[in-house]
Structure 1
Amino acid sequence: MTGSAPMTPRVRILIPAVLFSLAFAAVAVFGSQILRDVQDLNAAHKDNLQWSLSQTDVEFLEFYTALVAAEGDGDGDLDTLRREFDIFYSRIRILNEAELYAPLRELPRLRTALGRVDGFLQAALPAIDASNAELRQNLPGLAEQAADIRPVVRDLSISALGHLVALTDARREQTGRTLVWLGLSVGGLIVALLALAGYLNHLNSQNVRRRAEVVEASRRMNVVMGTSLDGVIISDTTGCILEFNAAAEQIFAIPAQEVIGRDLADVIVPDHHKAAHAAGMARLRNGGARRVVGSGRVRLEAKRATGEVFPVELAIQSAETAQGEIFVAFLRDISAQVAAEEELVSARDLALAGEKAKTNFLATMSHEIRTPLNGLLGNLTLLQDTRLTARQRRYIGNMETSGKLLLSHINGVLDITKYDAGRLHLRPVVMNISDLVQDIIDNQSASAAANQSVLQWQWDGPAKNWIRADKDRLQDILMNLVGNAVKFTHNGRIRVTLACLGRENGLQIVVEDTGIGITPDQIRHVFEDFVTGDSSYARNVGGTGLGLALTKRFVTALGGHIDVESTPGQGSSFIVELPVEEAEPPQPARPIHARQVRGNPITGPRKVLLVEDNPINRDVAREMLRAAGHYVVEAHNGREAVDLARAGRFDLILMDISMPVMDGRSATRAIRALNGPASLTPIVALTANVMAEEQAAFLEDGMDGILTKPLSKEALLGLFSSGALPEQVEEICDQKEPAVSDEHLQSLKQALSPDGARVIVARFCKEIDELVGWLGQEEGEQRRDLPRIAAEAHKSAGSAATIGALCLRRQLIAIEEAAKSGSRADLAMAIDGLPAIWLATQSALKSAA
């Protein structure tokens, strides 16, 4: 339950004022009512009303007396009778018609009596107005009627007077009640006045206390400002300095009495900032944007009395006072802090420069080490294909094993360097984790069997086979953990267990072994660089001690963590928990057609341009390619490669990166810029540089793939397998114009019906297939029959236009024009580019169908 909000001073004053006003209004209302009642009671018409009613009975009696006297007297008495009748008649007329008597006429009793009296008068009126003789004759009847009406007249007078008396009594009672309420209101007014007086006294006490508090707060504020380590400067909207504390005096080296009343710009603002300061103050006065006021601490420059410009940290707030708005500035001299920051920045730059130098050094050393390794391992591969004795084959195998081990150590050092430099990039893909684990188990089973150990793996709970993660890093993690377990376990068991964690998208990998175990002291350092389980010269297993250090880095990079539990002599357990994305199994990929040259896929003997400046590496690659039946042309630098690509046709270009005269990247860009089939030839980089950023740059230059040195026969010859070489023809067609115009195909379908259009397209495909096969044959008679080539190309170009195969039509026109001009070089170039374009057209036609 929350308490009510406190009343504001205005509300506290308004409430008693409202109560006092209500009491005063009540007194005024009741007083005015009393005044009206008194005036009403004292009014003359009330007395006249009562007198008139009383006089009615008197005047009737006088009339009746005159009537009785007239019965026995002479003529003179008749005049008196008539006069008294007229007086009584007038009185009744007044009672019947005067507004004053209207309330009385509303009374039923009075209205009845008044009606009877009026009836009597109307009946007597003819007799009264008649002659004396007639009047005298009618006197007995009049006397009798008057005697009958007399009680009515008296009742009329008495009832009216009684009603008036009752009204007067009621008015007196009402006046008494009003007087009571008036007394109560006056009492309430007095109480309200007393309460208001007490409340005003309370407010006065509060004001006195608050004044004392304000004085005390002002004194404390002066103490705070005087002892503050930050400079405090108060100014008005014109920039006039109102306050200047002691810290500000020390910061700006000027006494406060010399700056109070002066313009702020003249005291602390450097000359080169005065224009901006003046514009800002003008903007504040005009109600514009407040860029610094209320924006927290900002860094600016200030000026001391000596003219020295120095950095300050500044915060400005505004406040409203009785004299108007003021600005309070809090300043701090940060010269020492800025100097320290500059030293830190300088140290950081030196550290970054050192890190960059280390990275560059490692990249250079990688290249320099991998280059001779490429020659060593490549020549060993070539030696294995020659006649060797058993001893020679064993020696070569040992050399190859040592070379591969050296390569793995180099890769480990480079991976650590990339991670520590923040250049380890993840490449998540959809993968089958079960297949990956099975491959690693298969890979390490032979080593485990050599140690008389059993290696197996399993899922604990439901399997999550398909995930999205970095396959290469996961493979490195598993290879290091499983390899270590196999290495340190003899006559035991190694088990890999995968499990889905309770939280969403979590994967746990546990590698358990029954090997030699790890001591508690070793566990504390097991994930450090160059730490091995046994560092003595007599250790049974080798290694650099980088495997677990790399594993730890890779797990961290993937957003997970790794723990180890071990008992010396009983075995170890490494537990890895990783966040992964669950994925759907990928759809079966559509078959990828290999790039075609002259209508034939790159699967048989091909013509390869080998660009390599190192003679040993060149010999190794050349012999591997020739051994596979391929024809190799060699270039010693990039410039030679560009010239050879311009002059001849190649199925594949293997391009070294670091070369004299022209490097491989420049040569690739130059070849891609050539106008001819060479611009479409697949180019694969041969490099010892394993940095991901550098390899990405190679692809941006136009290369289609990368082979990392040391070069292996399997990787090199794998380029020629189906789908291994990237296909870019469709992308090139799309950049110029679509391979097939959808508008043409739709028009064709509307004109011939969909079934008719499919027949035409099938006939067209057969026609182009025959043309491409005929033109793609080896040098022969058809290349010398230029008119026939021109005619066939012209016919097929027309068919391509009908179908909407715009890119193909353009190529066929180029063949036709080259054949008509007789330029066999241009013709060969145009024919060489036709199969790839036809492949792209076929793909587009299938998609449109």
Structure 2
Amino acid sequence: MLGSARSDNVQWTLVQTQVEFLEFVQQVDNVPVEPAKLRQEFDVFFSRVKTVQEATIFEALRADSTAREHISTLVAFFDETVPLIDAQDAELIGQLSQLSQMTHDIAPTVRALSNSGLNVFAETSDAQRQNVARTMTQLAIALTALITVLLMAILFLNRLNMQIYRREQENKQTSTRMTTVMSTSLDGVVVCDSNGLILEFSPAAEGIFGYSERDVLGKDIGSVIVPDHLRDAHDAGMKRMRDRGEKHVVGKGRVQLEAKHREGRIFPVELAIQSATTDQGEIFIAFLRDISQRVAAEAELVAARDAALAGEKLKTDFLSTMSHEIRTPLNGLLGNLNLLQDTELNSKQDRYVGHMETSGRLLMNHISDVLDITRYDAGKLNTRSEPVNISALLQDIVDNQNSTASKNETSLTWVWHGSRMDWVMSDHDKLQHVIMNLVGNAVKFTRRGKVVVTIENVGEQDAAELLIKITDTGPGMSENLTKRVFDDFVTGNTAYDRDVGGTGLGLSIAKRFVNALGGVIGVESVVGEGSTFWVKMPVTQAAAPKEVETEVLSTPPSRRLNILLVEDNEINRIVASEMLQSDGHTVVVAHNGQQGVETSKATTFDLILMDISMPVMDGRTATRTIRSQEGASKETTIVALTANAMVEEQKEFLADGMNGILTKPLSRDALREVLRQNGETEGTSDTPMFNINHIAETREALGEVTFAKLRSRFVSETDDFQDWLRTQTTQDYLEIAARAHKVAGSAAVFGADPLRSSLKAVENAAKVGDVEAIKDGISLLDNIWKQTKSQLSN
């Protein structure tokens, strides 16, 4: 319809153009002519043609070449006639004939333009009708397709409706199940939206928090169950989750927090939060449980554990500290006793000194027992596997305890049951400690009875297992004591009038040693009848090792060493210095680690003896400093002097750069062994064998003549002693000790310290009847005397 209206308007305009042209022709041919009327009709005609030429409605007409040619002709006509029309009236009238001719000439063109327009728009109308027909056809097809789609949609919607119905039924069932779960769950379930408003509050939650569901629905969860001191953190977390989507607790599993009861009390809860997306937005489901009882139980356990750990640490620290504090004065005591024995003593004094040394060694054993307990409890008790002659070990222990058994009028015997297996792989020292303790206890508590030690291999052929039983006829033990006898500090009798002493650590240490060796220990006892202690442990049969000659440690040194002694305790400094100087060594003393570092920078020492616990700078720091600086003694061997007997601590000393460890109380034999291991070699002819200052003072005091006589007498006396030792095949040990003591006194007068120390070693070995030590001492004495005699003659 719009197409037709547009076409009619165009056709009307073209017809009107022809009408206006005819009006213009009439005015041209009118007599008399009216110029104004003529110009008016010309302008109307011109306007019509101009519209055809420029209006968009005539684009289709202008697209036709014939019509475009007609329009161009008309435009050319206007170009020629406009000057005539616009001329003065007189001139226009004068040119009227020409204008008339031109007008009649253009008339066919105007008519042709109108006709061509009709043709063009007729064709356009036909095309439009065809488009409408095609459009209608397409519309019909589209309607058919739409109807088909609608039918399919109806079928699909019907099917979907059935599915929705089924899902509604399923959701209803699920909702019923969830409601049942929530109502029966022992954990509280709280559901809230993203704003923290409570949507659901399970019965369990009601029981936990004291609220009913109708009281809290729609309320902010923070105001209901979050404690006041956590409210700000809760609100900040909710805001952060809404703004940035950050979830610190949601989906992170169970966490422990505090919650608030309706009554205002705060209690611990364990909760897990999950999120879900619904049509109303994101919701959060919290599963909570009251863990007040569990937390209380855990707190009680933690407190008990902390108390136990604190007690263990306190015990360890106490033992470590006491080890050091006791060993330090004990070092001075035993060291001075050792030095005192080297002086002239009468028989009573020598006996007293021996008693004091025995008591000191006993105290040392008690300290070692306590430290053994600490090592075992800390998992640091090390064992070693070596060939052990179990038969010889038992025989030695029985021989050792026979004198005590005789005093108690008790017989002590031991015997193998079954086939013997003398050599086994085990830890000799720990095995000896265990059996000695058990046998010693049996002998100590048995009066006028008997103690029998039996040993038997109760294992298979390929898996030997020793069973050692110590059976006595002593007083026996009660059932209560039997259960506790292997505990620490259990003595069985704590009365002041008890017959026997002891710390109550022997059996507890024995049990630890047996456990460390992979065995078990136990006891069976009847009050009034006696006791049977037994030890069962796995062993491996071993072959007898080859005999190895052991080096005698009591022999004096053969070369003078320049030694730096770093020690803060005055008594320990004196003891160590005296021991070293008596063996002919030069000793420089430093009172703390800082002094030791400074002294070692300027002087090259053969050995540095370093105490550990010192003021200003401790021994470990001093050692690291010496090793790190370019001092004269940077590479010198450093040996720790320490009362810290813990293995782990000693490993740390070595890690600091120390080369060895001497444990206090310091013994002469151990000190000599360290000197021998750290650079001591066989003496040479130029090794100083005299204390230069001492011999010079003796020479000055006696005078040259007297000094020469005494020197000659000293040489003769020592030569005679040497000859006597070489010529006699068997000597009385007491005679050897007496003569060695006499010559040692002469050597002391001349400051022949190495010779004197060697003679004292022979004397001490002879006193105890140690044949091997006597032989080694005599051998070393011969070499030292040759060097001493050579230097004395010079």
TM-score, with normalisation over the residues of structure 2?
0.52
Assess if the C-alpha contact under 8 Å between 1:497 and 1:510 holds in 2: yes
2:541 is equivalent to residue 541 of structure 1: no
- CA 1:558 to 1:326, structure 2 compared with 1: closer, same or farther past 3 Å? farther
Assess if the C-alpha contact under 8 Å between 1:462 and 1:500 holds in 2: no
Q: Which residue of 2 aligns with 1:577?
A: 536
Q: Which residue of 1 aligns with 2:288?
A: 331
Percent identity of equivalent pairs:
49
Assess if the C-alpha contact under 8 Å between 1:461 and 1:500 holds in 2: no
Partner-residue secondary structure (3-state), 1:678: coil
Partner-residue secondary structure (3-state), 2:351: helix
Q: Which residue of 2 aligns with 1:272?
A: 233
Partner-residue secondary structure (3-state), 2:633: helix
Q: Which residue of 2 aligns with 1:402?
A: 359
The one-letter code sitting in structure 1 at the alignment partner of 2:506 is G
Q: How does 1:699-710 map to 2 (within 5 A)?
A: 699-710=654-665
1:570 Cα offset (Å): 5.9
Q: Give the Cα–Cα distance (whole angstroms) in 1 for the partners of residues 239 and 423 of structure 2.
A: 70
Q: Give the Cα–Cα distance (whole angstroms) in 1 for the partners of residues 262 and 393 of structure 2.
A: 78
1:390 Cα offset (Å): 1.8
The one-letter code sitting in structure 1 at the alignment partner of 2:457 is A
Q: Give the Cα–Cα distance (whole angstroms) in 2 for the partners of residues 631 and 369 of structure 1.
A: 29
1:325 Cα offset (Å): 12
1:401 Cα offset (Å): 1.2
Q: Which residue of 2 aligns with 1:387?
A: 344
1:299 Cα offset (Å): 1.9
The CA RMSD over aligned residues, in Å, is 5.2
Stretches of structure 1 that go unaligned for 5 or more consecutive residues are 1-209, 594-601, 728-772, 780-849
Count of residues paired in the alignment: 501
Q: How does 1:344-355 map to 2 (within 5 A)?
A: 345=302, 349=306, 352-353=309-310, 355=312
1:387 Cα offset (Å): 2.1
Q: Which residue of 1 aligns with 2:608?
A: 653
Q: Give the Cα–Cα distance (whole angstroms) in 1 for the partners of residues 461 and 236 of structure 2.
A: 61
Assess if the C-alpha contact under 8 Å between 1:499 and 1:507 holds in 2: yes
Q: Could you list the per-position Cα deviations for residues 464-485 of structure 1 after superposition, in whole angstroms to 9, with x for gaps in the alignment?
A: 9554x76654443333223323
1:637 Cα offset (Å): 1.4
The one-letter code sitting in structure 2 at the alignment partner of 1:386 is T
The one-letter code sitting in structure 1 at the alignment partner of 2:482 is I
Q: Give the Cα–Cα distance (whole angstroms) in 2 for the partners of residues 431 and 281 of structure 1.
A: 73
Q: Give the Cα–Cα distance (whole angstroms) in 2 for the partners of residues 272 and 436 of structure 1.
A: 72
Alignment equivalent of 1:446, drawn from 400, 404, 409: 400
Partner-residue secondary structure (3-state), 2:531: strand
The one-letter code sitting in structure 2 at the alignment partner of 1:481 is L
- CA 1:626 to 1:648, structure 2 compared with 1: closer, same or farther past 3 Å? same
Q: Which residue of 2 aligns with 1:495?
A: 453
Assess if the C-alpha contact under 8 Å between 2:390 and 2:424 holds in 1: no
Partner-residue secondary structure (3-state), 2:400: helix
Q: Give the Cα–Cα distance (whole angstroms) in 1 for the partners of residues 421 and 484 of structure 2.
A: 33
Q: Give the Cα–Cα distance (whole angstroms) in 2 for the partners of residues 470 and 654 of structure 1.
A: 31
Q: Give the Cα–Cα distance (whole angstroms) in 1 for the partners of residues 546 and 630 of structure 2.
A: 37
1:611 Cα offset (Å): 1.6
1:547 Cα offset (Å): 0.8
Assess if the C-alpha contact under 8 Å between 1:608 and 1:632 holds in 2: yes
Q: Which residue of 2 aligns with 1:375?
A: 332
Partner-residue secondary structure (3-state), 1:371: helix
Q: Give the Cα–Cα distance (whole angstroms) in 2 for the partners of residues 662 and 440 of structure 1.
A: 49
Q: Give the Cα–Cα distance (whole angstroms) in 2 for the partners of residues 338 and 726 of structure 1.
A: 64
Assess if the C-alpha contact under 8 Å between 1:457 and 1:495 holds in 2: yes
Q: Give the Cα–Cα distance (whole angstroms) in 2 for the partners of residues 278 and 321 of structure 1.
A: 20
Assess if the C-alpha contact under 8 Å between 1:530 and 1:546 holds in 2: yes
Alignment equivalent of 2:522, drawn from 554, 560, 563: 563
Assess if the C-alpha contact under 8 Å between 1:528 and 1:548 holds in 2: yes
Alignment equivalent of 2:477, drawn from 519, 526, 538: 519
Q: How does 1:123-162 map to 2 (within 5 A)?
A: none
1:563 Cα offset (Å): 0.9
2:552 is equivalent to residue 623 of structure 1: no
Partner-residue secondary structure (3-state), 2:288: strand
Q: Which residue of 2 aligns with 1:713?
A: 668
1:720 Cα offset (Å): 3.1
- CA 1:394 to 1:464, structure 2 compared with 1: closer, same or farther past 3 Å? closer
Q: Give the Cα–Cα distance (whole angstroms) in 2 for the partners of residues 238 and 586 of structure 1.
A: 86
Alignment equivalent of 2:190, drawn from 218, 229, 233: 233
Assess if the C-alpha contact under 8 Å between 1:430 and 1:586 holds in 2: no
Partner-residue secondary structure (3-state), 2:385: strand
Q: How does 1:584-623 map to 2 (within 5 A)?
A: 604-623=559-578
Q: Which residue of 1 aligns with 2:442?
A: 485
Q: Give the Cα–Cα distance (whole angstroms) in 1 for the partners of residues 495 and 208 of structure 2.
A: 64
Give the stretch that moved more between structures: 240-249 or 371-380.
Answer: 240-249
Partner-residue secondary structure (3-state), 2:609: strand
Partner-residue secondary structure (3-state), 1:523: helix
Q: Give the Cα–Cα distance (whole angstroms) in 1 for the partners of residues 395 and 660 of structure 2.
A: 30
Q: Which residue of 2 aligns with 1:531?
A: 490
Partner-residue secondary structure (3-state), 1:649: coil
Assess if the C-alpha contact under 8 Å between 2:434 and 2:514 holds in 1: yes
The one-letter code sitting in structure 2 at the alignment partner of 1:656 is D
Q: Give the Cα–Cα distance (whole angstroms) in 1 for the partners of residues 596 and 390 of structure 2.
A: 40
1:555 Cα offset (Å): 3.6
1:447 Cα offset (Å): 2.8
Q: Give the Cα–Cα distance (whole angstroms) in 2 for the partners of residues 672 and 496 of structure 1.
A: 56
Q: Give the Cα–Cα distance (whole angstroms) in 2 for the partners of residues 440 and 637 of structure 1.
A: 48
The one-letter code sitting in structure 1 at the alignment partner of 2:605 is F
1:686 Cα offset (Å): 1.4
Q: Give the Cα–Cα distance (whole angstroms) in 2 for the partners of residues 307 and 450 of structure 1.
A: 75
- CA 1:368 to 1:243, structure 2 compared with 1: closer, same or farther past 3 Å? same
Q: Could you list the per-position Cα deviations for residues 249-296 of structure 1 after superposition, in whole angstroms to 9, with x for gaps in the alignment?
A: 4645655236557887897675535777799999999xxx9997695x
The one-letter code sitting in structure 1 at the alignment partner of 2:184 is V
The one-letter code sitting in structure 1 at the alignment partner of 2:290 is D
Q: How does 1:275-290 map to 2 (within 5 A)?
A: none
The one-letter code sitting in structure 1 at the alignment partner of 2:501 is G
The one-letter code sitting in structure 2 at the alignment partner of 1:404 is R
- CA 1:317 to 1:587, structure 2 compared with 1: closer, same or farther past 3 Å? farther
1:355 Cα offset (Å): 4.5
Q: Which residue of 2 aligns with 1:674?
A: 629
- CA 1:518 to 1:637, structure 2 compared with 1: closer, same or farther past 3 Å? same
Partner-residue secondary structure (3-state), 2:622: helix
2:619 is equivalent to residue 664 of structure 1: yes
Assess if the C-alpha contact under 8 Å between 1:684 and 1:703 holds in 2: yes
2:299 is equivalent to residue 299 of structure 1: no
Assess if the C-alpha contact under 8 Å between 2:182 and 2:203 holds in 1: no
The one-letter code sitting in structure 2 at the alignment partner of 1:516 is G
1:407 Cα offset (Å): 2.1
Q: Give the Cα–Cα distance (whole angstroms) in 2 for the partners of residues 278 and 777 of structure 1.
A: 92
Q: Give the Cα–Cα distance (whole angstroms) in 2 for the partners of residues 306 and 523 of structure 1.
A: 56
Q: Could you list the per-position Cα deviations for residues 382-402 of structure 1 after superposition, in whole angstroms to 9, with x for gaps in the alignment?
A: 222222222222111111111
Q: Give the Cα–Cα distance (whole angstroms) in 2 for the partners of residues 476 and 622 of structure 1.
A: 34
Stretches of structure 2 that go unaligned for 5 or more consecutive residues are 1-169, 552-556, 689-794
The one-letter code sitting in structure 1 at the alignment partner of 2:405 is N
1:425 Cα offset (Å): 0.9
